[in-house]
Amino acid sequence: MKEIKLLSDYLHEDVSVTAINDKVFEGTIESYGYELEGEELYDKAQPYIEVYDKKTGLLTVIFEDEIKDIEIL
């Protein structure tokens, strides 16, 4: 796996995101953030991106550990 930049670096970019299940999402990264469960500390938060998929018209949340590759289109 090649090194992925900070997820925030891709904000509003047109990208192709390949998930670990080889599902590909092509679209624009609308937002990024951190999933916190209950009272967990910020450093244990799971980073994620929200991709607006141009094919389906859906916003999809993809967690950082589910991302295999991101390419800017």
Question: Per-residue pLDDT tens for 4-62?
Answer: 788 889 999 999 999 999 999 999 999 998 876 665 555 667 889 999 999 999 999 99
Residue with tokens 């990264």, as numbered in its chain: 29
Task: Classify domain 7-72 at the CATH superfamily level.
Answer: Protein of unknown function (DUF3247) (2.30.30.720)
- Specify the pLDDT at position 31: 94
- Specify the pLDDT at position 63: 92
Domain ranges for the chain:
7-72
Q: Coil, strand, or helix at residue 57? A: coil
- Specify the pLDDT at position 4: 74
Q: Is 32 exposed, middle or buried (0-12, 13-18, 19+ CB in 10 A)?
A: middle
pTM, rounded to two decimals = 0.80
Residue 14 in tokens: 């047109």
Instruction: Give the Cα separation of 66 and 68 in Å (integer).
Output: 7
